[in-house]
Amino acid sequence: PVVLGLDMLVQICRGTYSESDITSMENDILSALDWRVSGHTPMNFARHLLELVPEEELSAGESSSLLEECQRNVNRTATDIHFSCLPPSVVGISCLAISLENCHVLSHSEKQVIWMRLSKSGHFNLSSRGAVESQQRLASHMSPRKLNVASKLASVSQSGAAVSAYGVDCGSSSASPICVTQTARQA
């Protein structure tokens, strides 16, 4: 990889702009953006959600194992355009749900307790159409025996978790060019 420093930018611009011009423009851009330049990733959401689970219910080792599996699931989403029009929170929740269901270290009842705690404290709806669809799509990238994961977790979420109705549908929660194009093609 090539490091793109100020001297390299001056060379690319063939001397049209000086280092001070580039620095000044960068400061103007950052000020206009109010320094909001870092975006949240699906893994940020997964990490924050797991931090909500007390250590008595999920050890550091189990949490680390879940995050590793979650990262593999996030990597799978990078090859599917469906996930690009979903908010990172939905992708993170879906990847974490699949990871939790496929965790071999925890019992079924431990998984349910953890998921109920996450659903209540995170105020998300795992049984919404978009979340279920995302989990099924993610599960389809895995082995055939794992295809019913989304329906299992959706039933856990519906069995008493206090959830709010966050819009997950691409058409209602995002106006990205991909979502607009996808919606137009479906119409």
pLDDT on residue 24 = 94
pTM recorded for the entire structure: 0.58
In this structure, the dihedral spanned by the alpha carbons of residues 49, 55, 61 and 63, taken in order and rounded to 10 degrees, is -10
* pLDDT tens over the chain, length 187 residues: 677 888 889 999 998 999 999 999 999 999 998 888 878 899 999 999 888 888 888 888 888 999 999 999 999 898 888 888 888 888 898 899 889 888 888 888 888 888 888 888 777 766 667 777 777 888 777 654 444 444 444 444 444 333 322 333 333 444 444 444 444 444 4
Taking the C-alpha atoms of residue 124 and residue 89, their distance in angstroms, rounded to an integer, is 10
CB–CB of 139/45 below 8 Å?
Answer: no
Q: Which alpha helices (DSSP H) does 78-159 contain, by range?
A: 88-101, 108-122, 129-140, 149-158
pLDDT on residue 1 = 62
pLDDT on residue 149 = 45
Residue 157 carries which side chain, given as an amino acid letter? S
Tell me the DSSP string of 42-93. Answer: HHHHHHHHHHTS-TTTS-HHHHHHHHHHHHHHHHHHTT-GGGGGS-HHHHHH
Tokens of 81: 């355009």
pLDDT on residue 17 = 93
Taking the C-alpha atoms of residue 178 and residue 156, their distance in angstroms, rounded to an integer, is 31
pLDDT on residue 102 = 86
Taking the C-alpha atoms of residue 171 and residue 184, their distance in angstroms, rounded to an integer, is 10
